[in-house]
Amino acid sequence: MRALTTIAVLLAGGASSLCAQHGGDIEIGGYGSYTRYDSRLQLDDQFGAGGRLGFFLGDHFSLEIDGNMSQPLSRFSGVGRTTATFGSASLVISSGGLYILGGYSRLHMGPGAPYASDLNAVHGGIGERVFFVSDRAALRLEARAYYRPPGTTPGTLDRVVHITAMAGMSFILGPGGNKN
């Protein structure tokens, strides 16, 4: 019962903020992140930072690109800190402040050869835009998982999963107001 109540409150809270999102609007923002890397990569979990840019196709759909960078400590001897950079493209489906997203991501790691690597993955996530002051500025909270299926890269058989939590500010730019 508690879960249903929580979902109802989130959806009800998001319904009033739907007026902020219209086709043709642009969303821009920055965020801090915390990533738990797949244990097989032998990277420590790490804080990072990133930015996003989105374009609303309609009141409920948007396309979004984002980039996230961190510098986790590698447990491979002699490597030290490495740079991990995610680049993602997503389709976002919104219902007021609550949204889900999915898409393609590419992870690049390393200062250079021989420790550099690239990983192609799909991702999915859920989040909430908490609007305040106006319907054009929001605190955006999101949880996302990156997944590379087993056997998608020659010579690899294992799946890879990274999990990231993000919190930051978003601003919706465009004509605004109700378009009824």
Q: What are the φ and ψ backbone dihedral angles of 9, each rounded to 5 degrees?
A: -65, -45
Over residues 153-177, the pLDDT tens digits come to 555 557 889 999 999 999 999 875 4
**Which tokens sit at 34?**
């915390």
The two tokens of residue 85 are 């950079």
In a domain, 107, yes or no: yes
E strands, 71-153, where?
84-95, 98-109, 117-132, 134-148
Nearest C-alpha neighbor of 87 from the set 114, 64, 113, 117: 64
The answer to whether residue 30 scores a pLDDT higher than 90 is yes
**110 vs 52, higher pLDDT:** 52
Is 139 exposed, middle or buried, given 0-12, 13-18 or 19+ CB atoms closer than 10 A? middle
Asked whether the predicted pLDDT for residue 19 surpasses 70, the reply is no
Predicted TM-score of the model (pTM): 0.79
Residue showing tokens 């989105």? 54
What pLDDT sits at residue 155? 56
10 contacts 128 by C-beta, under 8 angstroms: yes
Instruction: Establish if 180 belongs to a structural domain.
Output: no
Over residues 66-116, the pLDDT tens digits come to: 999 999 988 776 667 888 999 999 999 998 789 999 999 999 987 766 667
Range of the domain at 115: 2-173
Total domain count for the chain? 1
Q: How far apart are CA 18 and CA 53, in angstroms?
A: 19
- The Cα 118–Cα 146 span in angstroms is 13
Structure tokens at 3: 């879960």
Q: Is residue 178 part of a domain?
A: no
Residue 56 lies in a domain: yes
- Looking at the DSSP bridge assignments, the partners of residue 131 are 138
- Whether 134 maps to a domain, the answer reads yes
Is there a domain that residue 55 lies in? yes
CATH number for the domain including 80? 2.40.160.20
pLDDT band (50, 70, 90) for residue 14 = very low
Asked if residue 45 is part of any domain, the answer here is: yes
